[in-house]
Each structure stands twice: as structure tokens, then as C-alpha cells.
Amino acid sequence: MTAFLQYLGQSTRISFTKLGRASYFLLQILAGVLSLLARPRLLLKQLYSVGVLSFLIITISGLFVGMVLSLQGYYTLSDFGAEETLGVMVAASLVRELGPVVSGLLFAGRAGSALTAEIGLMKATEQLSGMEMMAVDPIKRIVTPRFVAGLISMPLLAALFSAVGIIGGQMVGCGLLGVDDGAFWSQMQAGIDFRDDILNGVIKSLVFGFVSSWIALFEGYDAIPTSEGVSRATTRTVVNSAFSILGLDFILTALMFGEH
């Protein structure tokens, strides 16, 4: 009994300590943002590895998600004779939910795990302490550019996901299923609001980019510097990012779309 209580207390303390370290780490990252402006090349390199390399998976997934949405929506909507509203259905579900959430999950899997493994290995091979030895701040030099790159890439990737998905939905809906092209677009334009739907989707994707980059970088920086430790940290990145994205999505949706 005492052993159990001890275990409980210890694990609670450990997780709070970790949260504290993560918050301190975030402050350190944010403190380095200004000095990043002096070295834009570091940021550009990370934009390539975080954003450009995620481009293909995001666009292809977006295309298929939009096509499936259109197909599924058509079968349900045609029962009510409301096939013309297919455009609103596809666009609203992509712009509000699926765009930010699915691209956030893909981003965590594609870019987040790579970030954790990279930084964890740098730590394991003592590159980070080597930098400190040379009076180079590894957070400013290594971590902050990756964080800012994630923050910039995520909204762009989510917008691409939604745009490609809507085009895929249009191809299937109008090309394959015979929904009227004009009705598809006009119903969509009448039903989607720029501020309420699209800007809120962009805000969501910014939040997801912030959180998943933070988790990925912290797990890498905090990893036990062995090959096993790095592999565990990578797993934790994907699991924790997925949890936080889905949980935050619920909170953000309740806040943003609540008053209607």
C-alpha cells in the first residue's frame, strides 16, 4: 500500500517536473526568436526540411480525403435530394476540422518525429554539449529555427490540404457523380464565411503547429541520450502530439463555433 502511494506520488512529481522543464524550454525558445532575424538562412534551411518535405504527403492525403468526403457525402445527401449542398459540406468539414486536424497529425508524424530523432541524436552524440563548449547556444542555433519553421509551415500546409481537398471533392462530385458545377461552388460560397470558418481554421492550424513543434523539440532535447532513449522520445512525440491536437481541437471548436 505504501509502495503504491509512493509510486503514485513519485510519478505525479515526475510529470509536473517535466511540464515545468518544458515550459522553461519554451521560454528559452521564444527568447531566441529575435536573434533568429539576424540569421534568416538557418530558418530557410529548416523551412525546407519541415515544410517542403511534408508538402507531398499533405497534398496527396488532402486530395484523397476530399475525394472520399465528396463520395460519402453524396450518398447521404442524395437520400434527401440535397446533392447541391455537397460543396458546403465538403468545404465546411475540410476548412473547419479536417484541414487543420489531419494535416496537424500528419505533420506530427512526418516532421515532428524527424525533429525529435534529429535533436535526440545530436544530444546522444554530444553535439549539443560540444556547441555549448564553443559558446554557441544550442537552443538559439538549433531549436528556435526549427520551432519557427514549424509555426510558419503548419498554417500553409493546412491551407494547402483544404484547398487540394476541395478540388478533389469537386472532381469527384461534379466529374464522377454528376453534381452541378455551378451549384457546387455557389452553395459553397454562400455557406462558408471568411472570418468564421477560414480564419478560425488558420488559427487552429497555428495552435497545432505551435504545440506539436514544441512537443517534438522538447522530447528530443529531453531524451535520454541513448539509442533506446531517442526511440522512446520519438514515440512519445507522436503520441503526445496526437493527443494534444485532438484535445485542443475540441476546446478550440467549442470556443470558436460555440456562439452560433
Residues that bind another protein (CB under 8 A): 41, 44-45, 47-48, 51-52, 55, 91, 95, 153, 155-157, 159-160, 162-164, 166, 185, 188-190, 192-194, 197-198, 202
Quick one: 83 or 222, whose CB is closer to another protein?
83
Q: Which three cell numbers stand for residue 31?
A: 527568447
- Distance, in Å, from the CA atom of 126 to the CA atom of 210, rounded to the nearest integer, reads 27
Cβ contacts of 84 within 8 Å, gap of 6 or more: 179, 180, 183, 184, 187
Residue 50: name the closest of 134, 114, 120, 130 by CA.
Answer: 114
Residue with Cβ nearer another protein (4 or 194): 194
Identify the residue whose cell numbers are 457523380: 177
H or E element at residue 115: helix 113-124
Q: Which is nearer to another protein, 73 or 120 (CB)?
A: 73
Minimum gap (Å) between residue 186 Cβ and another protein: 10
Please enumerate in sequence order all residues whose Cβ is within 8 A of that of 257, keeping only pairs 6 or more positions apart, or say none: 96, 196, 200
> CA 126, CA 146: separation in Å to the nearest integer?
19
Shortest Å distance, C-beta 154 to another protein:
10
Residue from 130, 119, 133 nearest 49 by CA: 119
Nearer to another protein, 167 or 224 (CB): 167
Rounded Cα–Cα distance for residues 11 and 119 (Å): 25
Buried b / exposed e over 14-45, threshold 16 CB at 10 Å, is eeeeeeeebeebeeebeebeeebeeeeebbee
Minimum Å distance from CB 43 to another protein?
A: 9
At its nearest, how many Å lie between another protein and the CB of residue 258?
16
Closest separation between CB of residue 56 and another protein, Å?
Answer: 11
In terms of CB distance, is 24 or 48 closer to another protein?
48
* Residue 246, H or E segment: helix 227-256
CB of residue 47 vs another protein: minimum separation in angstroms?
A: 5
Question: Minimum distance from CB of 255 to another protein (Å)?
Answer: 20
